[in-house]
Structure 1
Amino acid sequence: MGKSNDAMKKRKNRKSPSCQKLKNFTKRSLLYRHIVSIMAAKKRSKTGKRSNSQGMCFRQETSFNLGKTMVPLINGNEPSYDSTEHVYPSKFLIMCLNTIQNSLQNDGVLNIEDKPLFANAWGVEFWNYYSNGQDIMEKSGADSTREQIAWMASAAADTIARKEKEGLSFTGPFLLFLVPSQEKAFKVRQVWKPLETVGIYTLSLHSGTSIEHQIQRLKSSEPEFLVSTPERLLELLSLKAVNTSEVSFLVIDGLEAPFEGSYFDGIKSIRQFISGNPHTMSYPVKFNPALHA
């Protein structure tokens, strides 16, 4: 799925932020650093040994992820890094977060009184792991929130922008977000849509829309981000209507534990269409025995 000239130009023509916006980015960056230093100080002040359920610095094998080693992350409440190890986000990443926040507030999805997305504790912790190339497993037992979806999208957008400045180009989707339902796909798409203003396009794939229409959309939009249910994506892959071989960031939401069933089987099948070793973020939800009685 080659890039057309128009598609290659769409992110190169991003509008440069005004001087006032740059000043605001600098202020936000300083506030972000202050938040990180406070979290690191709290971490250093803790005494005694922590249990595995508390810590996030250890790694563990997970059968669902085809043997990949992942860092457990629990709501950003227990920072495991020292402030000297942290990679601070770029002005572009913060701009993406603010763009999403402003849009969601205008839509009434987020409250005006909510703290800025760039100050979200989970996001701070996620960014540390992501920027250091580590795979992550959310251990809270819940699916992704809008704030978390915003951070993952902004981090991916930042990587795309940075790689393009280095002269690299992408011939297919960079971020693939797998979801169990059409409703969750809509929620993810709602968070990502504002990034079209900086040249990052999203396509939502599910059974609620005809497959013919989605094939045309794939050809015309050449999206950087895909959010899809496994069933519909496998249909499109079988028709060679989409190329996921170069996916660099894979997010799996709503995977029920223990890891089995048609959703899990679909994810394993899709993984075979992805070359290399993409960043992986997973959201295994708690197993409900009543649903399997």
Structure 2
Amino acid sequence: MVKGDDAVVKKKNKVLRKKLRGKETVSTRIAAIIASKRRRKAGKRRICEGMCYSLPTPEDPFNDRNDPKFKKSKKDALFNKMDAKSEQSEDIQPQDNGIVNSCPSKFFCICLKAIQNAWIKESIFDVSVDEPLLSSRECFDFWKSYASGSDIWDKSEDLARNDQIAWVVSTASDDFTVKQKDEIVSQTPFLLYLVDCQERAAKVRSVCKPLRELGVHAVSVHPGVPLIHQFRGLKSCDPEFLIATPRRLLDLILVDAIDISNVKLLVVDGLDRFMSSGCEGTIKSIREFISGDPQIVIFSGSRKRASIGLAKSLIRKPVSELPHGMIKE
């Protein structure tokens, strides 16, 4: 069937309108893109564009962030706000003997938690009866004294309790990791823990054992094991913590099995027992092999004149006598 003239004209007009509509759409889109680029280069935006990309704030209720004057004033206000915050923080932080009274680090808490969990598995620690290691006031006092940089003299016990050993090794682990990040840790042991016998060395090492998974390795040297065996063991590893009896340690130092020149923390556990066994001269010799000015922690249960004399020969800086406060020597 042949189409009429009206149908043909109608079809042609439809095709023409479609072409015109397509040209108009492309040109309008391109014009919009060009206009948007010009506004962006000029630092201006439509109200709708500003609302799409950023919401108004109390500091900028009209979205004038692109105004150079506003940017400058905003920058000055930001610096003034930061200065005010820093001054406020300095005012509210409590001071204690010139030391900022802050809190222990997260890694310190992790170390104590690892030791406590190990004791729970070994049925040494009862959660329903024993006080958590981290909640002890003595623990915080010890950490605060160590953080102040002073030496520590604890006269409450003849030998350190298990919880006190945990505080010492956790604090040392925390300090070691900080210095390790700053790349100021040498190959010598970071902590030297002096004990009076093999059994005591085994006990201290068992407290340190959970820290091995956290990157802190402890080694003990004591009588009852051949000297050559310990010599080879120390030559093949670089322990972070060294637990030792004084005479065996001095023997290993004299044959160059171990270098303790850069020890940062020296712990003397049971000062009265060392005096009774005649190790006073040995401990003094070991102290002379340590260069620099390490922090020293002493556990002594008595106030005998001989013990006090040995302690004073080891300590060379202000002392925190626990639990009685700070004593200036």
Contact 2:268-2:297 within 8 A present in 1 as well: yes
Distance 1:261-1:210 versus aligned 2 partners, 3 A rule: closer
1:86 is displaced (CA, Å) by 1.8
Partner of 2:294: 278
Distance in 2, matches of 1:257 and 1:98, equals 31
Contact 1:206-1:229 within 8 A present in 2 as well: yes
Contact 1:201-1:221 within 8 A present in 2 as well: no
Contact 1:180-1:263 within 8 A present in 2 as well: no
- Of 165, 172, 181, the residue aligned with 2:188 is 172
| Greater shift in the superposed pair: 273-282 or 135-144 | 135-144
- For structure 2, the 5+ residue unaligned runs are 1-94, 305-329
Give the aligned residue type for 1:88. C
1:141 is displaced (CA, Å) by 3.9
In the superposition, the TM-score normalised over structure 2's length comes to 0.60
The aligned runs of 1:83-94 (5 Å cut-off) are 85-94=100-109
The structure having more radius of gyration, on CA atoms, is 2
- Of 95, 104, 110, the residue aligned with 2:125 is 110
Partner of 1:202: 218
Relative contact order (alpha carbons < 8 A, sep ≥ 6): 1 or 2 greater? 1
Partner of 1:190: 206
- For structure 1, the 5+ residue unaligned runs are 1-79, 289-293
Q: Give the number of the structure whose residues are more often helix, by fraction.
A: 2
The alignment partner of 1:236 has SS state of helix
Distance 1:258-1:173 versus aligned 2 partners, 3 A rule: closer
The alignment partner of 1:252 has SS state of strand
Distance in 1, matches of 2:274 and 2:302, equals 8
Distance in 2, matches of 1:287 and 1:162, equals 35
Partner of 2:113: 98
The alignment partner of 2:236 has SS state of helix
Task: Provide the aligned C-alpha RMSD in A.
Answer: 2.3
Distance in 1, matches of 2:171 and 2:208, equals 12
Contact 1:255-1:263 within 8 A present in 2 as well: no
Distance in 2, matches of 1:177 and 1:199, equals 18
Paired residues, number: 209
Give the aligned residue type for 1:99. A
Instruction: Give the percent of matched residue pairs that are identical in Structure 1 and Structure 2.
Output: 39
1:216 is displaced (CA, Å) by 2.0
Partner of 2:281: 265
| Greater shift in the superposed pair: 92-101 or 104-113 | 104-113
In the superposition, the TM-score normalised over structure 1's length comes to 0.67
1:236 is displaced (CA, Å) by 0.2
| Greater shift in the superposed pair: 243-252 or 140-149 | 140-149
